[in-house]
Structure 1
Amino acid sequence: MNFSFRHLFIYLTFALSIFKSNAHELASPSGQLKLYFSLNEQGTPVYSLDYKGKPVIKPSKLGLELTENVHALHSLYDKFRIIDGNQNTFEETWQPIWGETKDIQNKYNELAVTLEQEGSERKLIIRFRLFDDGLGFRYEFPQQKKLVYFTIKEERTQFAMTGDHIAHWIPGDYDTQEYNYTTSKLSEIRGLMGKSYEEGNVSQTSFSPTGVQTSLMLKSNDGIYINLHEAACINYSTMHLNLDDKNFIFESWLTPDSHGDKGKMQAPCTSPWRTIIVSDDARDILASNMTYNLNEPNKIEDVSWIKPTKYIGVWWEMISGKSSWAYTEEYPSVQLGITDFNKAKPNKSHGANNTNVKRHIDFAAKHGFDAVLVEGWNIGWEDWFGNDKDYVFDFVTPYPDFDLKGLNEYAQSKGVKLMMHHETSASIRNYERHIDTAYRLMKQYGYDAVKSGYVGKILPLGEHHYSQWTNNHYQFAVEKAADYQIMVNAHEAVRPTGIARTWPNLIGNESARGTEYHAFGGIHPNHVTILPFTRLIGGPMDYTPGIFQMDLTNGAHVNSTLANQLALYVTMYSPLQMAADFPENYERFLDAFQFIKDVALDWDESKYLEAEPGQFLTIVRKAKGKNDWFLGSVCGENGHTANIDFGFLDAGKTYEATIYADAPEAHYLTNPQAYVIKKIKVTNKSKLTQRAAPGGGFAISIIPIQK
C-alpha cells in the first residue's frame, strides 16, 4: 500500500465511522444554535438544543406508538439503528402574497437521519432544520414494504425544559382555543388548571390537568425566550403538550378521532414540523418567519384576486345583544324546504335586514372600506344552536328581508363588496355537501371572501375540532375556495400553522379568544400582549378590533381603552381587519376613527421596537409600496411608558406624526374613552416618550411631509 492510498483508506474509514456514528451535531447558520442527536441504549432517538453555549432543550426522546394492527412491534420508539445521516444547507428569499414584510429570508442547515428498526426493518427519517431563530423537525415515513398503512396511537415527542420556566398558557382542549391566557411557572400549571379552564364555551374537551396548547410561550430564569409550536399541520391531528411537572418535560399529545386514534397514515407521508423558536430577545420571537418557512411555497398560480381587506359588518350588534341572527321567534323548530318563512311573523331584532345592511354599505362607501360582512342572512338560525342538527343551513337561501341580488348590486354601485358568512354549525358533512353550490352562488353575486364558522360540537358526534379528520376538512374548504378564487376567514377552526404561505387565500382565522369575548365572558387586559407571541406565530388573526363603546347593551364591559383598540390594528397583524363597532359609535369619535381609516393592511417592513409577553409590545410597520409608517403600542393592566426612537425613518426626511394616545386620566375600567390626539414633526433623529394607561396603548401614523 503506497502512502497516498493508505491516507485515502484512513480518510474513507473515518468518513464511514462518522456516517454510521450514533451521534450527530448540527449548527445554525450563525452558529448560535446547536442541535445534538443520538440514540440511547434502548435505540430511542434523542435530541437536545443549545443556544449560545447553554442548553435550552435537555436530552429529549423522539418516536411514536402505533396501534396493534401494524406489526408485532407496536412502537416506532426504540430498537433503532442509524443507517444514514445527511447534512445540507439551504438559502432563499421569497415574497409573500401579503405579510408583515415584503421579503422573507429562508436560510437553514439541515440534518436528515435515517433509522432502521431492529426486528422489523421499518425505516423512519427524522429531519431537522436549524435556523438562526430556532429548530424545526418532523418524522418522515418513506415508501417501504414493512410500513404502509398504519395508525398512530400517540406521538411521543418530548421537549425537556431546563427549569421551572414562566409560561403563558391556555388549557389543552380538543375543541376550543378561546381561553384567557394564564401566566405562571410550569410547576403551578396543575394547581391553576381548574381556574383557567373556564366553563361556558360552546364546545370544550379537556384531557389532562397539565395539558396545554401550542403555540406555547416560555421564559427561563436566565432570560431565554422559548416558543413551542408546530408548522404545516397537513393530514395530521393537532398537537397539544402534556407536562410532566416533576421533571418539566413536555410530551406531544395528539387530538384523537372519534375512535380514540391519533392518526390514520399511509406511507410515504410526514408529520407536521415540531418547532422551537429561541432567543434572548422577545422581539426576535415576534420577528420569526420560521413557521412560514417550514411550509411549502404558494400553490396558487394566479393570486391577483387575493387582496388585503378592511371591512365593517352586521355582527357586533348580535354579539353585544342589540340584534339577533334569527328572523322569527314564531316557530319552535324550523326545517329547510319545509318551513315557510314567507308566512312567518318577523321579529323586530333581525340584524340582516335590507335597511340595516344598506346603512352599513353607505357607511363603508363613505369612509373607504372594502367590504361589509353580514351574518344571519340565511334561513336556519332559529333553533340549531345546541341541538346537534346535521342539516341546518344550505348557504344559499336568504331570509325574506334580505334581498341577496339587490343588496349586492347596491353594494357594487357604491364600490363596496359584501362578505359572505357561512356558519356550518360544525356539521362537516353538511357543509361539504353544499360547498360547491355555496361558492358558485358567491361567484354569481360578486362575493370574493367568506367568513366560515364552526360553532358547537363537530358532527358527526365524537369527532373533535382539531382531529386529523376535521383538520382535513378545513384544508379541503380552503383548497376548494381557491378553485373559485375565494378568500377564507375561518372561525372556530384549527389554529394556523403557517399554511397560508402555501394557500394565501387563507387570509385570516379566529382560532383564539377574540374581541367577541368582551361581550361574552371577558378578556383580560394583558391578552393582547400575549397573542402576538402565541396565536399569531402561525398566521394572522381576525381579532375584530375597533370597539369604541366599552359599556355594551348586554351589560358587559370591554377591558380596553379606545387608544388600545386603535393600536391593535398594528400589533395584531392581519391582512384582514375589521372595524367591529357600530357605525354610530365611530361617528361619535370621527377624529379617532381616522386612524382606522388610514392604517395600512399590507407591509414592506415591520420593526419590533420593544416587547415583553404579558406586559407590553410596540411595533411599527411601513405600508406596502409607500413611505407611510404606522406604530402601535399596547400594554396590560399595569400600564407602560414607551421610549420610541424614530431611527427607522429615512434620513433627511421630515414626517408628520399623528399620535392617538390615552389621556392622563384614562383607565380601561373607569375611563376607557379618554384619549388625546396631537401632531408633531419627526425625523429619524427624533425620540418620544409616551405613556399608556392600564389596559391602554397608543397609535401613531407617520406620514412624510411633501416639500
Structure 2
Amino acid sequence: MKVRFLLIVICVSLTSCWAEPETVLVSPDEKIFLEFSLDKNGKPFYEVVFKQDTIIKKSSLGFDFQDSKSFSNDFMVVNSSTTTFNETWEMPWGEQLNVENHYNEVSIALQEKTDLKRKLNIVFRVYNDGVGFRYEFPEQDNLKEVLISEENTEFNLTEDYKTFWIPGDWDIYEHLYSTTKLSKIDATVKRNHPSLGQTYIPENAVNTPVTLVGENGIHLSFHEAALVDYAGMTLKVDTEILSFKSSLVGSKNTDYKVKRTLPFKTPWRTIQITDNAPDLIASKLILNLNEPNKLGDVSWFTPMKYTGVWWEMHLGKSSWDYGMEMVDGKWTDTGKAHGKHGATTENVKRFIDFSAKNNIGGVLVEGWNTGWERWIGFEDREGVFDFVTPYPDYNLEEVTAYAKEKGVEIIMHHETSAATETYEKQQDTAYALMQKYGMHAVKSGYVGKILPKGEFHHGQYMVNQYNNAAIKAAKYQVAVNAHEPIKATGLRRTYPNIISREGLRGQEFNAWSPDGGNPPEHLSIVAFTRMLAGPIDFTPGIFNIKFNEFKKDNQVNTTLAHQLALYVVIYSPIQMAADLVEHYEANPKPLEFIKDVGVDWSETKVLNGEVGDYVTIARKEGKTDNWFLGSITDENARDIEIDFSFLDDNFTYEAKVYKDGKSAHFSKNPLDIEFETLRITKKSKLKVHLAEGGGLAISIKKL
C-alpha cells in the first residue's frame, strides 16, 4: 500500500509561513490517487487523480450546525492511521456469488485548534473502481449532540462532463433522465410535471446516482453508501465552476436536516471511477462500503419470478378498490360494489395456476385489503389501511392454501399511503400475518405526501422509517421490496432481506402517463445510473405493447425482444412477469424465455455498452450454470457482435435466440420478433441487428 505523509512549508512572505500536512492514498492497482490536505486556515480539502489526470480538483469538506460554529476551518491533524484490506465475500443472492473487497484506507483525526477543540475524523477508502469517504463524529467532552443544518462536501470537477441526471427531488425519483453538459443542468424546470403526484425540488440540484462521461472516456458516478439514520444527499449544481456540493434533504418541521447523538458515522460519499461504461455496472464499490450481513442465515427467502394483480389496474381493466363505504368509522360492504375489483379469489387463483405452469414462483396481490376507497386524495390517511382485513371477495385462507398446494408463494402488498404512524404501529401484526401464511416477501408502497405533514420521502425521518421497517421484517422472515422508497445505498449487504426497490420511473408510466411514457432510451440510461445503486423492481415483460383495447393513446416504447432482454439487463432477485395472463398465453414462444430465465446469478459479464445508447449483459444462473444474455438499445437501430468467450472451454451450448424481426420498430411494429436455435462454443461470435428501441435475449444451455 502506498501511503505517504509530506510536510510542505509554504512561505508567502518572510514573516508568514504555514505548514500543510498532506496525505496521499493510492488504489491497489495504483491508478487512483487521493490527496488530503489542510490549508493555512485549517480548512480540510481532498483531491482525486485517475491515471495521472486530476478528475476532482481541490474540494472542501465540512458542516454547518444550527446552534453552534460550523466545522469549516481551524483544524489540525492530531493523528492518522492507515490500513490495507483484501477479502472475498459471498452474496446470499445477487449479480454474482463472490465479491472482492480490496481497498487502502486512511483515517485522519482532526481537532479544532481553538474554542471547544471539537473533534472530527475523516476516513477515506480507495478501491480500484473508485473512492469512498465519510465523516466520523467521535465521543468527546465538548460535543454531545449535533443538529446539522447542512453538510458541505464539494466535488469540484475539471471538465464540463456529459451528465445523465434527474432533479434533486426531495420526494420522488420518478423523473425521466436528462442528458446535458454539466454546465447546462437546470433541475428547476422539472418542478411541475403532469405525471407526478408529489414532488419537491427546492434548488438546482440532482439526485444520485448521477453519471458523467468525459471526452477522454472517463466515466464517473456520484452516490452514497450505507445511508442509516441520516438525510438523503442531493447534489447542488454550480454550473459556473462545474461543481457538485452536497445538499441534504430537510424537513419543514425543523431548521436542521440531521439530528444525531455522538458518536456516529455519516454515510459514505462515493465516486465510482472507470475508463469505460461497462465497468461502471461491474463495480461493487457501493456494496463493499456497507457492513457485512447482520441477519445470518436468510435462506428462508428464495429469489423468484412473479406474476400478479397489478398491471390490469394500471390499464384500467380492474381496480384496487372494491367499492365499500366508511360507516361509523368502519369499512362496510353496503352492496354498492362496482364489480371491477381485481384482487378476487378467482382472479388470484388464475395467476397461481399460470405461475405454477410456467416456472414462476410468486404471485403479487394488490388491492386485497380494505381502505383503497380513500387511500389517495385525502389529507388524513392515517388509519385507512389495517394490513390484515381482506375485501369480501378475497378469501385469504383459501388463496394461500391453494398457492401452497401449487408450489407458489403469495407476495404480500402493503400500501401505506405514506401514513407512516399507522404503518409503524401495525407492522408487527402485519408481518405476523405473513408469517402465519408462509409469505416471505412484501411489496411496500408510500404513495402520497408523507404524514406527519412537513416530512419528505428522502429526509432523515423517512430514512429511518424505511430501514426500521426492513429490520423489523427480518424478525418475521420477511423480505422487503419498497416502492416510492429512499434510494438504494448497498444496505442489502448488511440486511439481505432488503431485496429490491423501485426508486425510478417504472413501467407503469407507459400505461397512463400523458407525456408518452418512457422513451426507448430510458433503460439504456438506467443501467448506468440508478442500477449502480442496487436492484430494481422495474416489472418487465409486457407483451401487449400497444394495449389498444384499454388505452389507445399509450403504449410501451420498446420492441417485444427488448422486453425479454430486460430480465437480464435490469437486475433484481425478484422479477415480475407483469402482463396479463391472456397476453402471455397468446404468445407461447416468447413466454419460453421468461419461463427459462434465472433471477439469481453466480457470474455477471457486461459485454459492451455506452451510457444512454445500448448495453449487453450476460449472467450465469447459480443453480443451473445456464447463461442468459440481454441486450437493449435506445431509439437508434444498431448492429452489435456478441463474443461468447465468457463460456466454458470444451463445451458445446444450445443458444435459443429471441431477436428483433426485420421490420421491428418500437412504435411501428413492436411485436415483430424472430426465434433461432444455434449451437455455439466459447469461440463463437454472433452478429445481431437491434431495431429502434429493440433488444436481444438469448438462453444458453450446455448440451
Please confirm whether the aligned pair reaches a TM-score higher than 0.5, indicating the same fold: yes
Specify the SS of the correspondent of 1:585: helix
Aligned mate of 2:501, from 500, 504, 509: 509
Name the aligned partner's letter for residue 629 of structure 1. W
* Structure 2 partner of 1:481: 473
CA distance in 1, matches of 2:328, 2:82: 59
- Structure 1 SS opposite 2:172: coil
Hey, what does 2:490 align to over in structure 1? 498
How far is 1:318 from its partner?
0.3
Following superposition, the deviation at residue 360 of structure 1 comes to 0.8
Question: For the residues of structure 1 that align with 2:676 and 2:622, how far apart are their CA atoms?
Answer: 25
| Corresponding residue for residue 128 of structure 2 | 132
Specify the alignment match of 2:63 in structure 1: 64
Alignment of 1:548-567 (within 5 A): 548-552=543-547, 553-555=550-552, 556-567=554-565
Aligned-partner SS, 1:253: strand
Q: 1:107 to 1:407 in 2, by over 3 A?
A: same
Distance in structure 1 (CA, Å) of the matches to 2:403 and 2:362: 9
Question: Is the 2:232–2:460 contact (alpha carbons within 8 Å) kept by the matching residues of 1?
Answer: yes
- CA–CA distance in structure 2, aligned partners of residues 297 and 568 of structure 1: 29
- Counterpart for residue 310 of structure 1: 305
Give the alignment of 1:17-56 within 5 angstroms: 22-56=21-55
What amino acid does structure 1 have at the position aligned with 2:156? A
Answer whether contact 1:217 1:227 (CA < 8 A) is retained: yes
Q: TM-score, normalised by structure 2?
A: 0.95
Counterpart for residue 10 of structure 1: none
Counterpart-to-counterpart distance in 2, 1:453 and 1:15: 50
C-alpha displacement of 1:262: 1.1
**Distance (Å, rounded) in 1 between the aligned partners of 2:194 and 2:271:** 31
The alignment partner of 1:284 has SS state of helix
Q: Give CA-to-partner distance per residue, 1:590-617, whole Å, 9 cap, x none.
A: 1001101101111111111001010000
Matched residue of 1:358: which SS?
helix
- Give 2:205's aligned amino acid: G
Q: 1:673 to 1:16 in 2, by over 3 A?
A: closer
Q: 2:372 aligns with which of 381, 389, 410?
A: 381
Instruction: For residue 540 of structure 1, report the CA deviation from its aligned partner.
Output: 0.3
Shift of 1:496: 0.4
1:189 maps to 185
CA contact (8 A) 2:331 2:370 kept: no
Quote the Cα distance in structure 2 between the aligned partners of 1:416 and 1:29: 46
Q: TM-score, normalized by length of structure 1? A: 0.94
- Say if 1:110 and 1:129, in contact at 8 Å, map to a contact too: yes
Paired with 2:524 and 2:38, the residues of 1 have a C-alpha distance of 40
* 8 A contact 1:164–1:186 mirrored in 2: yes
From 107, 110, 123, the equivalent of 1:112 is 107
Q: Secondary structure at the match of 1:500?
A: coil
Judge conservation of contact 2:249–2:459 (CA < 8 Å) in 1: yes
* In structure 1, distance between residues paired with 2:96 and 2:561: 25
What displacement does 1:535 show?
A: 1.2
Partner Cα separation in structure 1 for residue 121 and residue 663 of structure 2: 60
**Which residue identity does 2:492 align to in structure 1?**
A
Tell me how far 1:200 sits from its aligned partner: 3.2
Residue 625 of structure 1 and its aligned partner are, at CA, apart by 3.5
> 1:267-303: per-residue Cα shift (whole Å, max 9, x none)?
1001100000011111110000010000000011221
Q: Is the 8 A contact 1:182 1:196 kept in 2?
A: no
The Cα shift of 1:651 comes to: 1.4
Q: Matches of residues 261-340 of structure 1 in structure 2 within 5 Å? A: 261-328=256-323, 331=325, 334=326, 338-340=330-332
Aligned twin of 2:386: 394
Deviation, structure 1 residue 15: 8.3
2:246 is the alignment partner of 1:252? yes
Conserved 8 A contact 2:191-2:200? no
5+ unaligned residues in a row in structure 2: which ranges? 9-18
1:156-171 pair list within 5 angstroms: 156-171=152-167
What do residues 183-228 of structure 1 show as CA deviations (whole Å, max 9, x unaligned)?
A: 11011112x74158634312100011x2111000001122110000
Of residues 409, 418, 440, the one that matches 1:426 is 418
SS of the counterpart of 2:595?
helix
- State the alpha-carbon separation in 2 of the partners of residues 701 and 207 from structure 1: 47
2:362 to 341, 346, 371: 371
Root mean square deviation of aligned Cα: 1.5
**Deviation at 1:41?**
2.5
Query: 1:95-115, CA deviations, whole angstroms, 9 ceiling, x for partnerless residues?
Result: 011011110000000011111
8 Å contact from structure 1 (residues 306, 504) kept in 2? no
Residues 653 and 704 in structure 1, CA contact (< 8 A), matched pair in contact too: yes
Post-superposition offset of 1:462: 0.4
Q: Aligned partners of 2:235, 2:574: CA distance in 1, in Å?
A: 30
Alignment-mate amino acid for residue 147 of structure 1: L
Q: Is the 8 A contact 1:171 1:197 kept in 2?
A: no
Alpha-carbon distance change, 17 to 54 in structure 1, aligned in 2, over 3 angstroms: closer
> CA 1:260–1:205 in structure 2 vs 1: closer, same or farther (change >3 Å)?
farther
Aligned equivalent of 1:219, options 199, 203, 213:
213
Whether 1:417 aligns to 2:409 is yes
Following superposition, the deviation at residue 146 of structure 1 comes to 1.4
Looking at structure 2, the residues matched to 280 and 155 of structure 1 have their Cα atoms a distance apart, in angstroms, of 29
Q: Which amino acid aligns with 1:450?
A: V
Aligned to 2:280, the other structure's residue is in SS state helix
Matched pairs, number:
681
Q: For 1:14-47, what per-residue CA distance to the aligned partner results, in whole angstroms no more than 9, with x for missing partners?
A: 98969x9611100000000000110122211100
Provide the secondary structure at the position in 1 that maps to 2:389.
Answer: coil
**1:351 aligned partner:** 342
